[in-house]
Amino acid sequence: MAQNGFRTARYVPDRGLVRLVGLAVGAAAAVCAATWALATTTREGSAPWGSGPDWTATVVVLFVVAVGGRVAREVSGSRRAAVADGHQRDERLDRLERSVSALSSVNEPVLLRVGEVAAAVEQVGTRVDRSVARSRKALQTDLRQAEALVNLRAGFDVRAPLPMSRGWAASPDVLLTLVDLVLTRRPRLIVEAGSGLSTLWFCYALERLGAGRVVSLDHDPHFAELTRRRLQLHGLEHRAEIRVSQLQPVEHPELSAPQPWYSPEHVADLEKIDLLFVDGPPASTGPRSRMPALPILRERLSPGALIVLDDLVREDEQEILRRWQEMLPGSRSESLDHEKGTGLLFLP
């Protein structure tokens, strides 16, 4: 039988009704028979309506019996049909319920899978959004670098091919800032930690001013030599001195522990540094690799000197800039939104 609420109302004649109709027909037949018998008896005695069988009564009785039987059969037949119809409907409902329950059990894993697929699609969407945002930011950065390079090149007659910017080398945005600072502050002595493309641009800016020189420290003889050769190609070798200085542990009261840096003897002759650009040693040489620059060179800086620290996007460099500012009471720091981040520290 069907288990749930799929039942619908159907007409099934009540057993009592069938019995009642049967009784009514029987009673009518009995009344007619009695009337017929009484009429016959009365006629044989003192019958008011004459002798002989009463044909009218007989016909009435027979008619009533015939009609009653017919009605009883009809009612009983329609009841049987309704019951049979109800059975069929129940069976159909049972089959339908079995199908629905079979479908539900099949659907459960399918629904689970659909849920998993929907979650995966959402994750892919999030990744695509992030990737689009990253691409947009990268495109903006590239455009800014291209614009900075165009600006740089527009101001100078560059006499030979330049090494590629970005990556290990300084990015055009910081190079443009450095050239601008040189042209406006007119430093006599620029000291640089980490030679390369920046050395060339410092020299071009100093050439424009007609005065000033660069001392560039490099721990790697190979890259120091490359910079020297580039300077010669551009006819700028007289403006810069590249000093190879192997990294060695340096000690200073303002350093918590000895750490690798250029040899202090290679900076011992430097006086009145107006601009210090700190772009080395590379981070791969140790944690907070550029920290010693200020403690070691502090006494050699001019009053009002400017320190430029590249790669401020890195936490180490942010920490270094904070510590340097603490070491230099009255100094002012600024952070430039460059590709690699640039920190400026203005000495009082």
- How near is the Cβ of 252 to ligand SAM at its closest, in Å? 21
- How near is the Cβ of 342 to ligand SAM at its closest, in Å? 12
- How near is the Cβ of 189 to ligand SAM at its closest, in Å? 17
| Smaller CB separation from ligand SAM, 36 or 195 | 195
What CA–CA distances, in Å, run from 277 to 132, 174, 319, 339?
35, 11, 17, 17
| Smaller CB separation from ligand SAM, 36 or 198 | 198
- How near is the Cβ of 170 to ligand SAM at its closest, in Å? 3
| Smaller CB separation from ligand SAM, 274 or 310 | 310
| Smaller CB separation from ligand SAM, 64 or 174 | 174
> Please, which residues have CB within 8 angstroms of residue 138's CB and are 6 or more apart in sequence?
none
Other Cβ atoms within 10 Å of 77 Cβ, number = 11
- How near is the Cβ of 346 to ligand SAM at its closest, in Å? 21
| Smaller CB separation from ligand SAM, 25 or 227 | 227
Residues 226 and 195: their CA atoms lie apart, in Å, by 9
Q: Is there a contact between 215 and 192 (Cβ–Cβ < 8 Å)?
A: yes
Distance from the Cα of residue 295 to its chain's centroid: 45
| Smaller CB separation from ligand SAM, 32 or 198 | 198
Residues 317 and 324: their CA atoms lie apart, in Å, by 10
For the chain, the straight-line distance linking the first and the last C-alpha, in angstroms and rounded, comes to 97
Considering only CA atoms, which of 303, 296, 301, 309 is closest in space to residue 330?
A: 303
Contacting positions for ligand SAM (CB under 6 A): 168-170, 194-198, 218-220, 223, 279-280, 282
Strands 301-310 vs 342-346: parallel, antiparallel or unpaired: antiparallel
The DSSP bridge partners found for residue 276 are 191, 307
Instruction: Report the b/e string of 271-305 with b at 16+ CB within 10 A.
Output: eebbbbbbbbbeeeebebbbbbbbbbbbebbbeeb
- How near is the Cβ of 167 to ligand SAM at its closest, in Å? 7
Q: Which single residue brings its beta carbon nearest to ligand SAM?
A: 196
